[in-house]
């Protein structure tokens, strides 16, 4: 059973203006909608107001999403509100990008198949062939697009064709070890999530966990963020850390890191598909969920 059945969410942002919250509540009340969860945030730095209202229809008869959209649109125009109305029961269409590490992809497919994530994975795209068996097991089409310096632009164009064909709402970089072009990052603005390790000090290049071991790190972590033109520096959605100690070998650090990556990425996906994330310049506004 879909836990989001008959569940809608009204989200948006506007300039900080008196009356926006009253407009939201009155619009829902007029259509006999009960708002049972509401989050708001006013950013004094940018002068913008963000809101997320989760509600269901409690009146007699049948709920008209189209009527509510039109009524709210007409009234919201005066407040210059950027808004959206979503039926949370509708799963997000997802395309996964992956290379050779399977832990994040496997976790996403499992959570999708069990309903833990309200997504529909329509394709997996990889620059390697090793994970096709995993995609086949979940009956998800697998596209092997090998990347070299000579073929990178061509393969990225093919990737974009697949994403468009799937009408993907969200693209997940589940340890995809290729850098997307600036053009692709712009096309996927606000609808592509990446995951990477977060180690302090920062260890870049090959075998970061082995470098961390040599420095005796006491925390391993992961960061999920929206993809941007700046490598691994996009607006952050979710982060997690786990304690480690001197007994951890490089192999144990890798295992702990992968577990953390799985959990942080899954949390970020859930926050995104539940419409709890808002881009706010180079940062995000993320309203809490379960």
CATH class of the structural domain 8-87:
alpha beta
Tell me yes or no: is domain 92-286 CATH 3.40.30.10.
no
Active site residues per annotation? 232
Residues 6+ apart with CB under 8 A from 70: none
- Per-residue pLDDT in tens (0 to 9) along the chain, 290 residues: 566 678 999 999 999 989 999 999 999 998 899 999 999 999 999 999 999 999 999 888 888 888 899 888 888 888 899 999 999 999 999 999 999 999 999 999 999 999 999 999 999 999 999 999 999 999 999 999 999 999 999 999 999 999 999 999 999 999 999 999 999 999 999 999 999 998 867 787 778 899 999 999 999 999 999 999 877 789 999 999 999 999 999 999 999 999 999 999 999 999 999 999 999 989 999 999 98
pTM for this prediction: 0.95
User: Domain map of the chain by residue range?
Assistant: 8-87, 92-286
Residue from 192, 274, 282, 256 nearest 4 by CA: 274
Asked, colleague to colleague, whether 8-87 and 92-286 share their fold, the answer is no
* Three-class secondary structure of residue 41 per DSSP: strand
């Amino acid at each position: 059973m879909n836990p989001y059945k008959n569940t809608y969410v009204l989200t948006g942002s506007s300039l900080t203006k008196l009356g926006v919250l009253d407009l939201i509540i009155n619009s829902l009340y007029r259509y006999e909608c009960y708002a049972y969860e509401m989050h708001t945030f006013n950013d004094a730095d940018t002068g913008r107001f963000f809101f997320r209202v989760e509600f269901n229809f409690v009146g007699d008869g049948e709920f008209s999403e189209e009527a509510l959209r039109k009524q709210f649109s007409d009234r919201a125009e005066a407040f210059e509100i950027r808004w959206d109305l979503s039926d949370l029961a509708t799963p997000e269409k997802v395309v996964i990008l992956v290379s050779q590490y399977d832990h994040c992809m496997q976790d996403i497919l499992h959570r999708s198949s069990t309903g833990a994530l309200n997504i529909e994975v329509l394709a997996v795209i990889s620059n390697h062939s090793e994970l096709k068996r995993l995609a086949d097991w979940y009956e998800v089409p697998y596209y092997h697009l090998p990347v070299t310096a000579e073929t990178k632009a061509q393969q990225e164009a093919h990737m974009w064709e697949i994403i468009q064909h799937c009408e993907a709402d969200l693209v997940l970089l589940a340890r995809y070890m290729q850098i997307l072009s600036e053009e692709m990052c712009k096309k996927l603005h606000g609808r592509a999530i990446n995951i990477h390790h977060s180690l302090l000090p920062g260890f870049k290049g090959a075998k970061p966990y082995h470098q961390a071991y040599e420095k005796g790190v006491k925390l391993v972590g992961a960061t999920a963020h929206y993809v941007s033109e700046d490598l691994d520096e996009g607006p952050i959605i979710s982060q997690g850390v786990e304690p480690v100690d001197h007994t951890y070998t490089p192999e144990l650090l890798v295992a702990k890191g992968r577990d953390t990556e799985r959990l942080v990425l899954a949390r970020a996906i859930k926050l995104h598909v539940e419409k709890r994330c808002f881009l706010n310049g180079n940062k995000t506004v993320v309203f809490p969920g379960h």
